[in-house]
Amino acid sequence: NIFNGGYKTVAGKTVGGYGLKNYLVDTGNKEAADKLATDFANVEAAFKVIVEKAEKEGIKVDQMIATVGQASKHSISAEEQNKRRGWIESSITSLQQLTDGIENAAKAVGIDNLDADAGSQF
């Protein structure tokens, strides 16, 4: 990806070069680079939970976002449904934190007119 400067092809070959993370470090913004690396990892981990629950347990995303009342009609306990909604909320929160990290990294390199396009409204 553009941040790490590399990706793996479908054949399994790693292709890479200079990424945004390298640029941030080279311009004296290691803290911003580290925060973004953590933010990207958090997003990936949060969405991995959703994917695994869907693939391994057959829980669809619309079932994860259902209200407790809706879920109870399908014999899902309030406790279980709140846990499911938590997976979605964690993913949204991780994306919001990544947005903040991107804005901070942009400011660190002199870009001060970024508009997150109302991403914080979620």
> For the chain, which residues make up each domain, given as ranges?
28-121
This prediction's pTM: 0.82
**Model pLDDT, residue 12:** 92
**Model pLDDT, residue 112:** 86
56 vs 121, which has greater pLDDT?
56
* Burial status of residue 48 (CB atoms within 10 A of its CB: 0-12, 13-18, 19 or more): exposed
Band of residue 68 on the pLDDT scale cut at 50, 70, 90: confident
